Amino acid sequence: MPAPSQDPAAALKTALSLRAGSLAAFPAGAVLMAILERGWLSIAALAAVMLAVSLFERRRFGKALGIAVRSNPATLMTGLAVRTGLLTGVFVVTLGVLALFRDTALSRGLGWPDLAVIGLSAGGALLANGLSARLAQMRTEPGQPPPRNAPAGSVILEGEIIDNDTR
């Protein structure tokens, strides 16, 4: 039986757990904002940082695969709106549950608690994504480099580029 550090299934479970943790970092930040009774401006700032982390990770993946990742203002605004809606929903539900048990008074501006929660959420997501990527990079076969310059419409499965072009 291989050692736990040599087991590919354990490495995959760890990488997926880290990715799931990075996905939960920002909604957990919204819950913490509701517990601390922070305002709507803090949720908008959290959504903007969530978008920035997402763009950073997409560009890092694109660079590793040799694909240029482009974004335009329309996709950025859509991404910001979706993230703001998601985090606002989590915030409102948490705040509603908390309002059943105590009086709530939301803050009207950004303060150091907001910046601390935003920093912890972003740092946690970036750390989990970085560790997951490093773990996945260590698990690749040493003799085969990752594919480079894949066509934009192609799919990469197990290191093989599958082009959608049906010439």
3: in domain: no
Q: What is the pLDDT of residue 77?
A: 94
Say if residue 25's pLDDT is above 60: yes
- The answer to whether the beta carbons of residues 117 and 32 sit under 8 Å apart is yes
The domain in which residue 101 lies consists of: 8-162
Residues 128-147: b if buried by 16+ CB within 10 A, e if exposed = bbebbbeebeeeeeeeeeee
**pLDDT mean over 5-32:** 82
pTM surpassing 0.85? Answer: no
Q: What is the pLDDT of residue 4?
A: 46
- How far is residue 83's CA from residue 52's CA, in Å, rounded to a whole number? 11
167: in domain: no
Contacts of 153 (CB under 8 A, 6+ apart): 163, 164, 165
- The answer to whether the beta carbons of residues 146 and 140 sit under 8 Å apart is yes
Query: How many domains, the chain?
Result: 1
- The answer to whether the beta carbons of residues 114 and 120 sit under 8 Å apart is no
Q: Which residues pair with 161 in a beta bridge?
A: 156
- How far is residue 30's CA from residue 36's CA, in Å, rounded to a whole number? 10
Say if residue 118's pLDDT is above 50: yes
1: in domain: no
